[in-house]
Chain A
Amino acid sequence: MNGPPPVAQGPAPSPLPEIPRPVWRPLKIYPTDPTQGYASALKTSINVEYERLTPGPVGERLEVVDYDGYSKCFYEAVNLDQDEILIQGGLEPSESDPRFHQQMVYAVASRTLANFDRALGRRVSLRKGSKNTRLRLFPHAFNGRNAFYDHDLHGVLFGYFQADMDDPGPNMPGQTVYTCLSHDIIAHEMTHAVVDRLRRYFLEPSNVDVLAFHEGFSDLVALFQHFSFRDLLSQEIRRSRSDLRKPTLLVQLARQFGFATGEGKSLRSAIDKPDAKLLSSVIEPHDRGAILVAAVFDGFFETYSNRIRDLIQIATGGSGELPRGELQPALANRVAAEAAATAQRQLDMCIRAFDYLPPVDVTFGDYLRALVTADFEINPADELDQRAALIEGFRRRGIYPVGVTSLAEQSLRWPAAENIPNLKDQLGDLLPKLLKIEADRFTQRSTDPRVEGLSKEHFDSIEEIDEPGHRKTVYAELRAALLRYAKSNAAALYLRSDLPIFVSGFNAVFRTATNGRLLIELVAQFVQTDPEGQVDALLGGVAVKGGTTIIVSVDGTVRYAITKPLPGPHLPGTMGQEAQQRVQTQSQFVAELDARDPFVPYMSKKQFDNRMKARMALRSLHSGLWP
């Protein structure tokens, strides 16, 4: 008889140590896209946070649904937990296998999400609505030269299309191009989705910078992530002889897409010719966003050059003059390590600044102030002069915040809050409860399989509690307490006491400062809507909003109150005038878009009254149909 030998009966053996849970899951991707580069298409393997997955892949925050609205069908879904796939570290990159497409979308989206978790010091929640819907990723949603995040659907839709017949670049004419195989497009759209969760009003174009910020920031994340692909980085640094300002794959965005659509070049790039005049004339959000991208990259290049100077000196016997030809591999690897570290630090800085932004009506100037303040909090010394380089990058492009007297760091930092009552008295024992919940969500999962259940994604972030049908006790209590606090201190928070206040976000964040200490802060956003604005005709359906972000230290002291208030008598000094100006700017901006929009004559009354809402849609924005 065949089969295993019978197991000897006897006393129960002592339990063996269990296999540790993995921290990472390796998955293969195209680090840029499937375009044939200098040789074959580049491939790489990245580690994403390990989580149990069901076919899709479907995880805790992301759900890949391969539905094609053009062909009206679903495609076979990949099971990344299948043994054969696990053992190979994920499927091999392939253009013809939809299961690889699903893997790549999931991997890059997870990587992008992890960058936000890490820099923000908390776990970003992507669940939405009463059904707790995950963010959905649709790798082949439609046939078209576009990809976009859709707020209502709570998903990212990727298109596929046939490459230009006349001018396909390195693609075959008519070849099918999948936007979901472009790292940059996935990272860009994923960033839109995350930003929309962090600041829900940043899709409302209340001034010329708002959508440009969304676009530029999404490009920044996509571009900086290039520097985490070590093989690509070393290769490009060897080729460019360490000069990152050269047009390498690192600083080009969505190369295949750009060529396949007949542009003859990448879609966008991190490099520009600095021109302080552009800011006053460029309106289109991607083009305007590119100014922001170039400003940040300018700072990055400067810091990077400073950091590798000693390496180059050591390698050249002190002359700093590199010999001709490609960089030698050992040096290239050391330089690449510096580039990667600098890029990661710069990306963290860019993301971290988010908590220091006003809740509504953001401008590039606000972002510069937030960058400087957030980084100062965590790294007061700025030994690498990273902040100074960044400020210079913005200055060269004429980005000046409103209301600052100089571009010195002290005057760029948001002013410290004064006379705002302590939050602790209002929140009482809710604060420790919140800290515990958020800490639990953020803590590294244990590798011990026996404690797996304890660190599961139990809780939504406070962002969710406003959704109808949602009542999670601690959060509901917190929200009520925050509302009480905001109401009784409305004037101090620059809010109008006669209008309803909406808590649009509340988080605890945990960061490690450069001195090694744990920095815990609470960030809350309060928002109000002006009920008297002529929303229909004048503002095209997007009302004037005001609001305040407060940064609170763990003892309840309000440290910063970053505000874009509604106009009113409650505002001290010149703030009232500035607020009034903001309202005017918004209606002027609408008029400026109307003047350029060829669709205005053909709009029905309803379309006209909601034209700014329509202009918010990333769908038409990404297909180049913006006025």
Chain B
Amino acid sequence: MTELTIRMYDVGFGDCFLLTFGKGDEARHVLFDCGSISVGAKQVTSVAEHVIESCRGADGRSRIELLVCTHRHRDHVGGFSDPRWDKVEVGEVWMPWTEDPDDKLATKIRTRQSGFAATLADALNVPGASLDRDPLTSERSVGGRARTTMLAIALNALTNEKAMQTLHSGFSGKPPRHFLPVKDNPCEARTLASLSGINFHILGPPRDEDAIASMDPPKGGAYIARAAAGNSAPVPENCAFRPKWRLDRAEFDRRHPQTTFSAGDQKQIDVLAEEPEGTVAAAIDRAVNNTSLIILIEAGNQWLLFPGDAQWGSWNSAMSNDQCRSLMKRTTFYKVGHHGSENATPKTAVEDVFKDGLISFFSTASIKQWPNVPRAPLVDAIAKKGKIARSDDEAIGKAAGFVVQTGLYTEWTIDTGV
């Protein structure tokens, strides 16, 4: 099975990559993620359907040897809430160590992350509206672009119960679950019996203290929760002091005729006291992204790097490990991190780690309010290394010689030499 096909489905702002080793009856499949936040559930379902059909063997059964969930963001796992997955036979499911239900620290991190996301989403959402909706396609009646962005980020980080249930206990064939990397075994090379000759090098997420700190949602949860609640939040009776101490503006003015504290100043304080900052939502985004499983697949002469949405802290940790770094230097194919955003592909990786001739796939979408995704200078820098394909602009991949199924996927087939 020397032939390898890497297929990037067009799921908008999301990821779904199907790898096929060998062809015909020999074909073996590996799937990385399936989800989106920018396209409707219908389109994600049809992609999931297509994946399942593509993995159907001669016996009529759909089988995937290895299913990798890089991290629990909706734009990576949302597609697994579909009931069709129950019938799909899966060999093994790999998830980041933070998903391990028996690991106390992992559980603590997950609880904090989902608690934070839920609080933020509750605070930003329209009262009464469902939280189980498409973060970016839903109606924009929540009050302003900034708020829409924060809500989208929060919804993306909410626990995707159904999808996570599938990943943890679904599929047919009772696949074992592995939570990686295994403790005290950084850079482990794993193999699967059904995929002989293929090595999976597990480069992340790291387990060191700094990295774990970067998976923590921001401090000051109470403030953020309350601050995000806005005007409608009920004021607890004794919040700072009992009511007997309180005065209204008129009484204050009467007692302090010389004050420099104007009505404008007062308004400014109200804003500072209540309005959550975009950075708050971004912090939870990073926290979850940094749990991303980073895998480098070695198949003959090909080295395929799938970093999930790992961000600076996690990358930095992998690149400062000599063994990981020297492996990364061999990369021939790169699944661009986090839809091509600035902070998910370090400049040093592009400049000092990746070599020329690199093939890079961007699974991304042009979202009007996020003009920095994908980040133009990063796209240019990566394009300079070799060939690229973009799910949001199929013509680029086509021109570079990749096979494009319009509106569905872009794929690259290569002989790995084994």
Contact = CB atoms under 8 A, between A and B. Distances in A.
A620 B277 contact: yes
A55 interface: yes
A71 B239 contact: yes
Given A153-B269, A602-B281, A623 B220 contact: yes
A70 B248 CA distance: 13
Contacts of A72: 235, 270
B363 interface: no
A608 to B, nearest CB: 6
B241 A98 contact: yes
Contacts of A134: 260
A150 B224 CA distance: 19
Contacts of A75: 240-241, 245-247
B240 A98 contact: yes
A162 B222 contact: yes
A69 B312 contact: no
Nearest to A608: B372
A96 B238 CA distance: 11
Interface string A49-70: 0000011101000010101111
A160 B252 CA distance: 21
Contacts of B247: 73-76
Interface string A565-597: 000000000000000000000000001001111
Contact of B260 (A74, A136, A144): A136
B388 to A, nearest CB: 18
A595 B346 contact: yes
Given A162-B222, A595-B347, A620-B277, A601 B269 contact: no
Contact of B272 (A69, A591, A596): A69
Contact of B370 (A140, A159, A602): A602
Contacts of B261: 63, 65, 67, 136
B255 interface: yes
B147 to A, nearest CB: 12
A595 B153 contact: no
Nearest to B260: A133
A81 B1 CA distance: 90
A380 interface: no
Contacts of A76: 245-247
A142 B273 contact: yes
Interface string A335-368: 0000000000000000000000000000000000
Max chain B Cβ within 10 angstroms of own Cβ: one of A131, A261, A599, A624: A599
Contacts of A155: 265
B240 A598 contact: no
A138 interface: yes
A72 B312 CA distance: 40
A160 B347 CA distance: 41
A87 B239 CA distance: 32
B272 A619 contact: yes
B253 to A, nearest CB: 10
Contacts of B274: 69-70, 142
Given A63-B259, A70-B226, A600-B341, A624 B347 contact: no
Given A71-B235, A73-B248, A150-B272, A65 B259 contact: yes
A601 B373 contact: yes
A395 interface: no
Contact of B282 (A152, A159, A594, A598): A598
Contacts of A56: 256
Nearest to A624: B219
B285 interface: yes
A74 B246 contact: yes
B258 A153 contact: no
B343 A594 contact: yes
A146 interface: yes
A73 B342 contact: no
B220 A599 contact: no
A178 B249 CA distance: 23
A398 B246 CA distance: 52
B41 interface: no
Interface in A125-154: 131-134, 136, 138, 140-146, 150, 152-153
A597 B277 CA distance: 14
Contacts of A297: none
B220 A261 contact: yes
Interface in B367-391: 369-373, 375
A14 interface: no
Contact of B342 (A144, A153, A594): A594
B222 A601 contact: no
Q: Is the interface of B mostly helix, strand, loop or mixed?
A: helix
Interface in A257-293: 261
A142 B283 CA distance: 21
Contacts of A623: 218-220, 223
A141 B283 CA distance: 24
Given A138-B269, A598-B311, A625-B218, A73 B371 contact: no
A261 B273 contact: no
B342 A600 contact: yes
Given A71-B235, A75-B241, A142-B227, A157 B279 contact: no
A624 B214 CA distance: 12
Contacts of B313: 596
A489 interface: no
Given A144-B223, A603-B372, A605-B371, A58 B258 contact: yes
A601 B272 contact: no
Nearest to B347: A595
B343 A161 contact: no
Contacts of B269: 67, 69, 138, 141-142, 153, 157
A132 B223 CA distance: 33
Contacts of A153: 265, 268-269, 272
Contacts of A605: 371
B218 A624 contact: yes
Nearest to A605: B371
Contacts of A73: 246-248
Given A98-B245, A625-B279, A69 B273 contact: yes
A602 to B, nearest CB: 5
Nearest to B262: A131
A162 B347 CA distance: 41
A55 to B, nearest CB: 7
A602 B224 CA distance: 19
A134 B256 CA distance: 14
A341 B258 CA distance: 40
B285 A598 contact: yes
Contacts of A162: 222
B266 interface: yes
20 contacts: A67-B252, A71-B239, A71-B246, A72-B235, A74-B246, A74-B248, A74-B251, A75-B247, A98-B245, A142-B273, A144-B226, A146-B220, A153-B265, A178-B240, A594-B342, A599-B279, A601-B341, A602-B149, A607-B278, A623-B223
Closest 9 CB pairs of A and B: A144-B223, A69-B273, A142-B273, A598-B286, A599-B282, A601-B341, A145-B220, A69-B269, A598-B282
Interface of B: 145-146, 149, 153, 218-220, 222-224, 226-227, 235, 239-241, 245-249, 251-252, 255-256, 258-261, 265-266, 268-270, 272-274, 277-283, 285-286, 289, 311-313, 338-339, 341-343, 346-347, 369-373, 375
